[in-house]
Structure 1
Amino acid sequence: MILVAAPERALGVGFPDPTAQNIFYACRLQTGKSRFRTGRLAGFRGYLGTTMSSEQQSSRLVLAVPEPGDCAEIFAIASDPRTWAHAPGERITDPKKTGELVEMFREGWAEHGLSSWVVRLGRHCEDQRLRPGTLLGTGGVHIFAPPAATPFWNLGYRFAPEGWGRGFATEIAAKAVGMARDVNPEAPVVARVLSTNPSSARVAQKAGLRLAWRGAPSKETIAAVGQQTVQRLIFADRDLEPGMLDWLVSRG
């Protein structure tokens, strides 16, 4: 169960990552190389009102809007080579990139009433290896507005290795997809994953997304992964218009 504060193997789905992969983000956290920008949706304003100061939680997890003070802990996870085993060349090594990511998420919360959370272990979760309050990672959805295409929610997540294998990513992904449909049901929910990260693909499917496209990624992504046979997988909660799918495929 989740408490929301309006926060498996290396999990990563989402954008801003050109080689993207993590689900509270299926992509890398390296916003400095992002090809994406949050789009302002005409007539749409924070569904959750003062969400920037709200909090949600469950019996296991506490979800909160990322704060600048969270950057050091988020960077520790984002720079851990184990969380980039599926794409070693995409590992974050500059703490400034984490700050840019947190700023992007906070803008998403302020503008659209929903974005990614920081995820902490709740007080009532019995786990001898983790202490209550431990920052486990980040996850959720963030909205993007591609040129000449419908805005979409990008699903992504990245958790510390200590939190793998407990279903935390699936819990967050399902929560995020449900909230995205409440906040802006017209926007599809999308997750971009690499074939070298099967755990992230399974989480996307458990959250209700289905495979919309599979094929070769960009040369940049292939180089980052280090495998010529790597495939890009695009998952979505509905059929995507051709223009949007083409645009997503073009991102590598």
Structure 2
Amino acid sequence: MRKGSTGYGMGVSEYPEIETARLRLRQFRAEDFAVHRALVDDDSAVTWSHRRRPLAASLRSWADRIDGWQRNGFGMWIAEVVATREVIGHCGLQRMEGGDEVELGYYFGRAAWGQGYATEAARACLAYGFDQCDLPSIVAVVRRENAASRRVVQKVGMLPERDGTFYDADATLFRLTSGDFRR
């Protein structure tokens, strides 16, 4: 399932790769930037993400994703379809802005919606976080009106913890503990 070794708060020596039934979660590559940028700039899809970023900020975000692996032992992966090698989005674990919580994050382009890819990727990310990084819990932030994302986090066992303002939006914080994941 993965390469390298990690523990919570320890970096990885090799960027891990995960393969699920239909997806490959792998390292960001330079050639991914243009297609990924097009996915996250889709106006219909960006409605559900927390914020749109200018090009310079997007480049910094990519660098942060790579650095996250080295700092924490977890980070974001590019999500590609195994059968076609098509890049359809990204997913992974990151430190939540302004705190120590570890957050599940994912973004899939419109063409990938409704096919179960987000749920499949979320399950793999949670398994990595709990089994390889020994995280005590993982959270997810979902805008209140994003019914599809709510279904994803609920399908993977996350429970709503509290409503509030997260990333400048009205949202719900969901949580899954290691113990609940293993049941």
TM surpasses 0.5? yes
2:103 corresponds to: 154
SS state at 2:172 partner: strand
Q: Which 10-residue stretch deviates more, 195-204 or 66-75?
A: 66-75
Q: What does the per-residue CA deviation read over 1:70-106, in whole Å, with 9 as the maximum and x for residues that have no partner?
A: 221211111110112346x9333x2222211211111
Separation of aligned partners in 2, 1:145 and 1:83: 22
TM-score (structure 2 length as normaliser):
0.82
1:156 to 1:110, Cα distance in 2 relative to 1, 3 A: same
**Pick from 2, 6, 10: which aligns with 1:45?**
10
1:99 corresponds to: 59
SS state at 2:21 partner: coil
2:18 and 2:24 in contact (8 A); partners too: yes
Work out whether 1:109 is the aligned partner of 2:69.
yes
Q: What does the per-residue CA deviation read over 1:91-146, in whole Å, with 9 as the maximum and x for residues that have no partner?
A: 33x222221121111111122222111011112xxxxxxxx011000011113585
Displacement of 1:173 in angstroms is 0.5
Matched residue type, 2:105: G
SS state at 2:90 partner: strand
2:181 corresponds to: none
Of the two, which has the highest radius of gyration? Answer: 1
Matched residue type, 2:139: V
1:136 corresponds to: 88
Matched residue type, 1:85: T
5+ residue gaps, structure 1, are 7-42, 124-131, 222-230, 239-252
TM-score (structure 1 length as normaliser):
0.61
2:142 corresponds to: 193
1:4 and 1:63 in contact (8 A); partners too: no
Displacement of 1:69 in angstroms is 3.1
**Pick from 132, 139, 145: which aligns with 1:183?**
132
Matched residue type, 2:150: A
Separation of aligned partners in 2, 1:205 and 1:178: 15
1:244 corresponds to: none
Separation of aligned partners in 2, 1:197 and 1:5: 34
Separation of aligned partners in 1, 2:94 and 2:152: 17
Separation of aligned partners in 1, 2:2 and 2:107: 17
Q: What does the per-residue CA deviation read over 1:210-239, in whole Å, with 9 as the maximum and x for residues that have no partner?
A: 000024x37x53xxxxxxxxx42110114x
Q: What does the per-residue CA deviation read over 1:28-57, in whole Å, with 9 as the maximum and x for residues that have no partner?
A: xxxxxxxxxxxxxxx8423xx4332x4332
Report how many residues are paired: 176
Q: What does the per-residue CA deviation read over 1:125-171, in whole Å, with 9 as the maximum and x for residues that have no partner?
A: xxxxxxx0110000111135856xxx321111111111111100001
Separation of aligned partners in 2, 1:4 and 1:61: 14
1:121 corresponds to: 81
Work out whether 1:90 is the aligned partner of 2:51.
yes
Percent pairwise identity: 23
Separation of aligned partners in 1, 2:154 and 2:45: 20
- Tell me how large the CA RMSD over aligned residues is: 2.9
